[in-house]
Amino acid sequence: MEVWFLGTGAGRPMKHRNVTSIALKLPDPDCSLWMFDAGEGTQHQLMRTPLKLGKLEALFVTHLHGDHTYGIPGLLSTRSYVGGNGPLQLFGPPGIREMIETALTLSSTHLDYEITYHEVSEGVIFKTERYTVEALPLEHRVPCFGYRITECESPGKLNVEMLQQLGVPAGPLFGRIKKGEDITLPDGTLIRAADVASTPLCGRTIAIAGDTKPCDNAMRLARNADLLIHEATFAAGQEEKAHLYGHSTTVEAARTALEANAKRLIMTHFSTRFGDDDIAALEEEARTIFPNSSAAYDLYHTEVPRAKG
């Protein structure tokens, strides 16, 4: 799993920092792209990466503020031109369908694919063979959701040489064993999956807290997550102003990571009051609370490794 930060700013674009968008590249065998928010200029940022818009299969919107949504119509339009003709799943708060369809209709934009809209509420909102996505409401000035992406445990690697020695023919029986199922051969030999396959691979969990002030649901999203992505619009000491606008400070994001027992914190959504030279100081503020904290910058990308089983 690979995470790309296409924009890390709040409110409006800056010369060296675009507004919010996060891309999640799924590993084999999916190899698809999921995105979380798409502020103005997101498709421009995407072109500066190796990511392919045609691979986009799902877009999750945290809330309807413009710095998280104004790039969506252009993104959807361009997807038609770059081979993205498969259906798209689009998730967001109530009003997301009206917002997007109004923009597409009034601009006479025709898409060569179907969009399935999901106006989300609390709970599991999306499930595939390998992933589950949950949504929880956060505390912002407008309805806003955070998302928790949980990868299923993957089967361990088969010991093919041992299976051949035991007389197990390649094919469907290999698949059953890989799923953890014990099998019995025609001659009565019992093959235990645990004896011929390595330990299953742990799934990974990523929590994305959109715009929010500190709240219990942000903690729930982040519980034991491998990676917590949390807004940090303001600096330590600016809590009163942050909460007035439904935001968090660096140290509050760090406390959420610490108390939730997350393994890693990446902060984003920085106020325009902070220039590039200020980001290192914001990062250090968070590290006084939660040492494994870092501050994202535009086009920063990172792998999310599997925990050892």
Question: Any residues with CB less than 8 A from the CB of 176 and at least 6 apart, and which?
Answer: 183
* Structural domains in the chain, sorted by start: 2-154+204-303 (3.60.15.10), 160-196 (no CATH)
Can you list the alpha helix ranges (DSSP code H) found in 32-120? 42-46, 66-69, 72-79, 96-106
Mean pLDDT of the 21-48 span: 95
Which of 55-69, 189-203, 269-283 is the least confident region?
A: 189-203
pLDDT tens-digit map of 56-86: 999 999 999 999 999 999 999 999 888 878 9
pLDDT above 90: residue 49: yes
67, 211, 226, 298: the active-site residue: 67
Mean pLDDT of the 244-264 span: 98
pLDDT, position 308: 65
Q: Which residue has the higher pLDDT, 174 or 122?
A: 122
Residue 53 confidence class, pLDDT cut points 50, 70, 90: very high
Residue 17 confidence class, pLDDT cut points 50, 70, 90: very high
pLDDT, position 159: 81
- 269 half-sphere exposure, CB direction, 13 A CA radius: 31
CA 46/CA 23 separation, integer angstroms? 9
pLDDT, position 85: 85
Work out whether strand 190-191 and strand 56-60 pair parallel, antiparallel, or are unpaired. Answer: unpaired
Q: Which residue has the higher pLDDT, 119 or 181?
A: 119
pLDDT above 80: residue 199: no
pLDDT above 90: residue 153: no
CA 27/CA 167 separation, integer angstroms? 33
Is 276 among the catalytic positions? no
Mean pLDDT of the 18-38 span: 94
How many CB atoms are closer than 10 A to CB 178? 17
pLDDT, position 173: 81
pLDDT, position 309: 53
Closest by CA position to 220, among listed 153, 131, 128, 139: 139
